[in-house]
Amino acid sequence: MMRKYTTLALALLFAASPALAAESVFSGDLSLSGQLIDGSSKLSAKYSEYRDLGDNDLSGSFSLFGAEAGRFLSVDGAKLGQEDQSLKMQWGLFDTLRFSLFHDQLTHNYSFDDLTIYSGAGTDTLTIGASAITNPATWLPIDYSVERKVLGGGFRANFGSPYFVSFDVTQTEKKGTLPWGVNHSTGGGSYFVELPLPIDDTTTNLTAKAGYGSKTLLASVDFTVSSFDNDYDRLSWARPTAGVAALTNPHTFTTTTFLPPDNEMWQIGGQLVLKQLPLNSVLALRGSHSQLESSDSLPAVVNSLGAPLTGARSYDGDITYTTAAVNLRSRPLERLETDLTYRYVKKDNEAGGFLYGGPTTGATAPVSTHVFYYTKHNAAAEAAYRVTDNNRVALGYDFTKIDRAEEMRHDAEETKDHLVSAEWKNSTFDFLTAKLRYEHLERNTLFNGAVAVNPPAPTQDASIIYAYARPLDAADKSQDTFKVALDLTPCSFADVGLEYSYRTADYDKTVIGRTDDLAHKMFADISVALPGKSRLYGYAGYEQIEAGSDHVYYTGSGTGTVTVLPVPAASENTNRYNWSQERIDETRSFGARLEVPFFEERLKLSAAWDYEKNEGEAKFKSTRAATDALMVDIDNYGNYTKRALNLKAEYAMTAALTLIGGYAYEKYELDDIQYNDYQNTYRGGALLTSP
């Protein structure tokens, strides 16, 4: 894929006018830009994920500032006329009163030129035509994107006293369509389908703050209220497969997916900062309490034949967060600095559990889910001592404990992280500053996967996995990280920076899941002053990440009872075997930028080149020889290449007028097995859209 565009800009720089009074100041700049797209009619969503590059159009940016007699006004706008534009304004009295208004918008593009089997995309009701499922030619085009607009304002006042008060309000609107995957099983049929999920919600926040500030004390209280309004609280969609018994027309069988409900939140908090304490200390305390409430009524759901799937019920959500933090920074000795921190977070969830799946009564009654809550403690201590004027050493210890709801996280009811660190910084030589840092993380997890599942003692294929699979986010692990950084000044006209980091982790208690990972990162940058006030900048980077994981394939069909994983070698067959994966990603990047001034710096020319390439691969192995022989490694797993060239010329015609001309070229190439040669094909209920 190749994309090219050019940019021309005219900037007007308004210097302070001598005609104004001495106490008056006025300045600003104006930039008009145009882009010409050379490539296909529509750029890829990945290329323009957060940028408006879809049209040949104009945009403008400006900045204005004026001040007189203690009053000021500031207005700034960027990319006006495009989807990612922003505008903000501030005015008031210096040091006593400040008002502000702002508007910001951004479109997040997920994918373009997709196809969907559903009619009604963008609404809360999705239907399927009689022949749409098996014939991709009848599927409908769709783009997945979400537009976000933020409007806000506020003011702060202290009226020349140590007391201050402030108010801020923001409103965020989101509209668009998201791809949403659903894995559903009803009445004997199981299928996966991608739904166009409608997004149309508004979040409004209001914060008020009042306090007192002096050289030795800062105290404040704040109060926040937030409201979330969702125009779509549920999505009704037609089932895309005929695998349900007694249903003659699968397209009329509808299922309901419930979306985030409307909710209200309030929070009260406060902070206290004490300065100039004994031992040259500063003590900071912060605490808050918030409550989030929501309620929703869920109607009874029946299938197309009128059989009940779930009964009507109401749901009340009530979540509270309590936080506290204290930090003490001291300098008890001239060469000794200490930092002590404690943080506490408690989430309480008083909402009742809810049911899902199956009829309302009988042996296959809906499963009851449990709400999630946790308590987190974090304590950290660091001491830094300057051994000599040019040598500084620091030792640190960080402890984190998280207690989770056993019903929801039987795989990680409790985790304890112990992180120790040591750092040495040396600046003995005028031309060299070196820093070394080492960290060791030890995580211990209370794992109840073997007993805290349904059924309590897993012996069958359907549940045995819970006794062995460990989640990556909370699995036991031992991790070591080493970093070295060098800042060099080999001569008077050059600066060089070098960095290298190495990280290795071992998930020593994981049987099924991530078992180890390794990462190398290297980066170098240089700045060179050339003759004639020219300057050359350059950088180069390399990153390699490796991750290994162990897995098991098994099915309940004909395998009997499984009581241990991995599968014993003597029991491996086509329905039950062990396999492993190794993921490798290598990323290389480099770039350079040259700046050259002419005519006493009235003309400035610059050229920049950037290059980035990632190569990803996945290697597979199996302990079963027959299966291993059939496995094929993937050598294009997320491969991509990005190139960019930017040319720019600036000419100062007068002190108040500057002409800017530029050219930009970008090329993005994606080589990924997940996207290459993608075809829209119906495969019995598992339906995805095109990339």
Residue that has been written with the tokens 């990632």 in this structure: 614
Quote the pTM value.
Answer: 0.83
CA distance 332 to 524: 38
Please tell me the chain's helix, strand, coil percentages from 3-state DSSP, rounded to the nearest 5. Answer: 5, 65, 30
Q: What pLDDT score was predicted for residue 371?
A: 77
Q: What pLDDT score was predicted for residue 82?
A: 84
DSSP state, 1? -
Choose among 82, 64, 63, 84: nearest CA to 72: 64
Close Cβ partners of 428 (under 8 Å, ≥ 6 residues apart): 390, 391
E strand residue ranges, 334-431: 336-349, 355-356, 367-368, 374-388, 391-404, 414-426
Please count the CA atoms within 13 angstroms of the CA of 40 that sit on its side-chain side.
11
**Residue ranges of the chain with pLDDT lower than 50?**
1-22, 41, 187-188, 242-249, 304-306, 309, 356-367, 451-459, 557-559
CA distance 407 to 373: 10
